[in-house]
Amino acid sequence: MTLPDGVERRSFGEKEGLATRGEPVYGEPTDGAWRRWDPRRSKLGAMLENGMETGLSGGETVLYLGAAAGTTVGHVADFASPTYAVEFAARPARDLLSVAESRRNLFPLLKDARKPETYAHVVEPVDALIQDVATRGQAKVALANRRFLREDGRLLMAIKARSEDVTADPDAVFETVLGSLEDGYEILETGPLAPFHEDHLAVVARPR
Domains of the chain from N-terminus onward: 39-207 (3.40.50.150)
pLDDT number for residue 65: 98
Judge whether 12 and 20 are in contact, CB under 8 Å. no
**Does the annotation flag 112 for ligand binding?**
yes
Per-residue confidence (pLDDT) for residue 141, from 0 to 100: 98
Specify the amino acid at residue 52: M
Q: Is 88 annotated as a binding residue?
A: yes
Residue 8 pairs with which residues in a beta bridge? 19
Q: Is the peptide bond preceding residue 192 cis, with omega within 30 degrees of 0?
A: no
CA atoms within 13 A on the CB side of 208: 9
Q: Is 134 annotated as a binding residue?
A: yes
Q: pTM of the entire structure?
A: 0.97
* 87 labeled part of a ligand binding site: yes
Per-residue pLDDT, 2: 85
Contacts of 109 (CB under 8 A, 6+ apart): 84, 85, 86, 87, 119, 122, 123
Low-confidence ranges of the chain (pLDDT < 70): none
Cα–Cα distance for residue pair 155/186, rounded to 1 Å: 10
CB proximity list for 188: less than 8 A, separation 6 or greater:
53, 154, 204, 205, 206
5 is in an annotated binding site: no
Is 20 flagged in the annotation as binding? no
User: Annotation-wise, does 165 bind a ligand?
Assistant: no
Is 132 annotated in some ligand binding site? yes
- Please return the burial class of 26, using the count of CB atoms within 10 Å of its CB with bins 0-12, 13-18 and 19+: middle
Q: Is 127 annotated as a binding residue?
A: no
How high is the pLDDT of residue 136?
Answer: 94
Strand-strand pairing, 83-87 and 34-36:
unpaired
Q: What is the C-alpha to C-alpha distance for residues 167 and 151, in angstroms, rounded to an integer?
A: 36
Calculate the dihedral angle through the C-alpha atoms of 173, 177, 182, 183, rounding to the nearest 10 degrees.
Answer: 130
State residue 9's pLDDT score: 95
46 is in an annotated binding site: no
DSSP letter at 11 equals E
